[in-house]
């Protein structure tokens, strides 16, 4: 592992499970210092014991928690805005505005708050990175996805606009847009805890992406020479050609 003075440092939000936790593991394996951020202290403590990362228990939808996170971050070279999620599959006509608000808070406003809080430190390193974890939902709408699609479109626009606004400064802005990723919680949370409905999302799909696949993309983009900016990386499993075009194998019964 590199000497302390040469170690790159990252902040990863939404680090208690899924893509966030996998990203912390990969960055630590690459020798990075990592501050893992999430709401669940027990999950973070287990991740710290496993990887040696630092932790900050914080809700990134709350301004006071984000201020505390920024104070804990110190010198930081990369921010991985991974916190996010979907709630429900109702149509636009039947969608609950409270669900839409929750999705905008965690996918859009949290990305805005944390990015604003850490930009001065990222700029000061002379080689900062802001990475936004959007989704293929940010590129193509689909029925039952209105709130999540709208939130991910907005999050993608943050990345696109920020890149224009920071041109000429020593900060890259990277967007990664994963397609179908089978993680332990995303679909279950979206289906309000209904595991059978969550499992049906991936039924018959041979080898959907894993959290580790996406973490590999994160680390690859962050470790390119700093004059190389990966503006947008769209990554899907081979079985998913587009949002609506998915190869599914017959299921027994």
- The catalytic site residues sit at 148
CA 63 remoteness from chain centre = 19
- Paired with 178 in beta bridges are 235
The 3-class SS string of 142-169 reads CCCCHHHHHHHHHHHHHHHHHHHHCCCC
Task: Specify whether the CB–CB gap between 18 and 187 falls below 8 A.
Answer: no
Task: At 83, give phi and psi (nearest 5°).
Answer: -55, 135
Q: Is the dihedral of CA 107, 78, 3, 22 positive or negative?
A: positive
Q: CA-to-CA distance for 205 and 240, rounded, in angstroms?
A: 8
Task: At 179, give phi and psi (nearest 5°).
Answer: -90, -125
What is the pairing mode between strands 54-57 and 33-38?
parallel
């Amino acid at each position: 592992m590199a000497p302390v003075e040469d170690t790159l440092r990252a902040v990863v939000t939404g680090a208690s499970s899924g893509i966030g936790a996998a990203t912390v593991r990969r960055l630590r394996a690459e020798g990075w210092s990592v501050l893992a951020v999430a709401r669940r202290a027990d999950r973070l403590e287990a991740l710290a014991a496993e990887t040696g990362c630092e932790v900050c228990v914080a809700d990134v939808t709350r301004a006071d928690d984000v201020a505390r996170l920024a104070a804990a971050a110190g010198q930081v070279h990369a921010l991985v805005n991974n916190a996010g999620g979907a709630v429900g599959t109702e149509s636009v006509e039947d969608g609950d505005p409270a669900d839409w608000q929750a999705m905008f808070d965690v996918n859009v406003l949290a990305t805005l708050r944390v990015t604003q809080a850490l930009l001065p430190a990222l700029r000061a390193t002379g080689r900062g990175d802001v990475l936004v974890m959007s989704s293929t939902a940010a590129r193509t709408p689909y029925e039952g996805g209105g709130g999540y699609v709208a939130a991910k479109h907005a999050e993608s626009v943050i990345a696109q606009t920020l890149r224009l606004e920071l041109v000429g400064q020593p900060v890259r802005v990277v967007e990664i847009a994963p397609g179908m990723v089978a993680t332990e919680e995303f679909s279950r949370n979206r289906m309000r805890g209904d595991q059978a409905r969550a499992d049906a999302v991936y039924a018959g799909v041979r080898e959907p992406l894993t959290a580790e696949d996406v973490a590999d993309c994160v680390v690859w983009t962050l470790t390119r020479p700093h004059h190389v900016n990966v503006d947008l990386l769209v990554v899907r499993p081979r079985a998913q050609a587009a949002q609506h075009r998915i190869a599914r194998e017959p299921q027994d019964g």
